[in-house]
Amino acid sequence: MDKQLHWETIYKDKQPNEVSWTQSTPSLSLKLIQNANPSKTANIIDVGGGESLLVDYLLDLGFENLTILDISKNALDRCKNRIGNKGKNLNWVVSDITEYHPETSFSIWHDRAVFHFLTGPTAIAKYKANLLKTLSPDGEFIIGTFSTEGPKKCSGLDIKQYTEESLTDCFSPELEPIEFQREDHETPFHTIQNFVFGRFKRVN
Does any domain span residue 26? no
Residue 50 zone, left/alpha/beta (φ > 0; ψ -120 to 50; rest): left
pLDDT in tens, 186-201: 988 899 999 999 999 9
Give domain status of residue 30, yes or no. Answer: no
pLDDT value at residue 14: 82
pLDDT in tens, 44-90: 999 999 899 999 999 999 999 999 999 999 999 999 999 999 988 99
- Domain membership of residue 25 (yes or no) is no
Residue in 1, 31, 72 with CA at minimum distance from that of residue 183: 31
Whether 36 is in a domain gets the answer no
pLDDT at 15: 82
Distance CA 124, CA 115 (A): 8
In a domain, 186, yes or no: yes
d(CA 13, CA 130): 31
Give the Cα separation of 66 and 69 in Å (integer): 10
Over 80: is that where the pLDDT of 21 sits?
no
Residue 85, pLDDT score? 92
* Res. 96: pLDDT tops 80: yes
- Please report the pLDDT score of residue 1 as a whole number: 56
Asked whether residue 100 is domain-assigned, the answer is: yes
pLDDT tens for each residue of 137-165 = 999 999 999 999 999 998 888 999 999 99
Q: What proportion of the chain, given as a percentage, has pLDDT over 70? A: 99
Residue 35 lies in a domain: no
Query: In whole angstroms, how far apart are CA 6 and each of 41, 46, 97, 196, 201?
Result: 34, 20, 15, 25, 33
* Count of structural domains, the chain: 1
Of 6-10, 18-22, 160-164, give the lowest mean pLDDT range. Answer: 18-22
- 13 pLDDT above the threshold of 70: yes
- State the residue range of the domain holding 105: 3-8+43-202
Average pLDDT along the chain: 93
Residue 137's Cβ-count burial label (10 Å; 0-12, 13-18, 19+) is exposed
pLDDT at 169: 98
Helical packing angle, 3-13 and 73-83, nearest 10°: 40
Q: Residue 18: is its pLDDT beyond 80?
A: no
CATH code, domain with 90: 3.40.50.150
> How confident is the model at residue 70, as a pLDDT?
96
Given a contact cutoff of 8 angstroms between Cβ atoms, the answer to whether 63 and 107 are in contact is no
Residue 61 lies in a domain: yes
